[in-house]
């Protein structure tokens, strides 16, 4: 829904997008549990079975009078891709539709940044890089650009290492310069916890201990150095 508003959609479309996002995978209830919890890669046959969750979702939702045609369209197309590589119908380009494409981008990003039975959660940076790699291929250039602009290269909750060696968590975005968010410094250069974490707005180039302005050196994996960003208040 946040992305929908960033795209300039009206409230009705934003609500539709949010409802579809919550329901688009309900068909997985009809898939074998062992398939959903498999630790390794799916075999070609297993992948065919897995893709059937889209049809199952449509079957379940079609029985509800509250499921509008637009919700069903998004649910049915959120795995379609602009280059025709998606499923279930291999739609291309504009045939996918903006709302379904938006749902698809969010689905990819959220799936990667959540812990899964077959792997740990990827950092937001890795997930965004994956989305950006599909720019002009699996997703349209304009939609990817707007998604990156909406989320920011360092989304709220991202652990980052600064050029000082300190570790911080992103607590707010700067709309003017996405590479310079507001951060809370949690660990010192020696990677020991700060008793009183301070907040810095990188937009204003605050100086580090060496006098050089603070900059983000790299994004870190969730849980790096034993830090759980969810333990901190993120405004």
Task: Give per-residue pLDDT as tens, 207-228.
Answer: 999 999 999 998 887 788 988 8
- Determine the pLDDT at residue 235: 44
The terminus-to-terminus CA distance of the chain in angstroms comes to 18
Burial 102-131 (b: 16+ CB within 10 A, else e): bbbbbebbeebbeeeeeeebbbbbebbeeb
Q: Which of left, alpha, beta for 218 (phi over 0: left; psi -120 to 50: alpha)?
A: beta
- Determine the pLDDT at residue 222: 77
Which among 28, 38, 51, 191 is annotated as catalytic?
A: 28
Choose the weakest-confidence range: 50-64, 169-183, 195-209.
Answer: 169-183
Percent of the chain with pLDDT over 90: 71
pLDDT tens figures, 128-182: 889 989 999 999 999 998 998 888 778 788 889 999 999 999 998 887 777 789 9
Choose the weakest-confidence range: 55-69, 153-167, 192-206, 220-234.
Answer: 220-234
Known catalytic residue at 28: yes
- 232: pLDDT confidence band, cut at 50, 70 and 90? low
Looking at the whole model, is its pTM more than 0.85?
no
**187: which DSSP letter?**
E
The packing angle between helices 69-77 and 53-62, to 10°, is 170
């Amino acid at each position: 829904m946040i992305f929908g508003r960033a795209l300039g959609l009206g409230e009705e479309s934003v609500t539709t997008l949010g409802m579809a996002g919550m329901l688009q995978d309900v068909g997985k209830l009809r898939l074998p549990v062992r398939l959903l919890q498999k630790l390794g890669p799916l075999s070609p046959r297993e992948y065919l079975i897995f893709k059937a969750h889209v049809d199952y979702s449509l079957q379940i939702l079609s029985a509800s009078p509250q499921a509008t045609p637009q919700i069903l369209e998004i649910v049915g197309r959120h795995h379609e891709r602009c280059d025709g590589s998606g499923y279930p119908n291999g739609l291309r380009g504009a045939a996918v539709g903006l709302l379904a494409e938006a749902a698809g981008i969010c689905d990819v990003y959220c799936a990667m940044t959540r812990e899964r039975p077959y792997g740990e959660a990827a950092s937001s940076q890795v997930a965004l890089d994956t989305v950006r790699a599909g720019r002009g291929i699996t997703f349209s250039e304009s939609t990817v650009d707007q998604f990156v602009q909406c989320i920011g290269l360092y989304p709220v909750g991202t652990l980052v290492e600064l050029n000082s060696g300190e570790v911080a968590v992103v607590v707010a975005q700067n709309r003017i310069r996405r590479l310079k968010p507001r951060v809370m410094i949690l660990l010192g250069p020696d990677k020991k916890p700060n008793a009183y974490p301070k907040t810095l707005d990188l937009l204003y180039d605050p100086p580090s201990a060496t006098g050089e302005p603070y900059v983000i050196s790299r994004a870190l994996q969730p849980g790096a150095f034993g830090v759980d960003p969810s333990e901190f208040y993120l405004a």
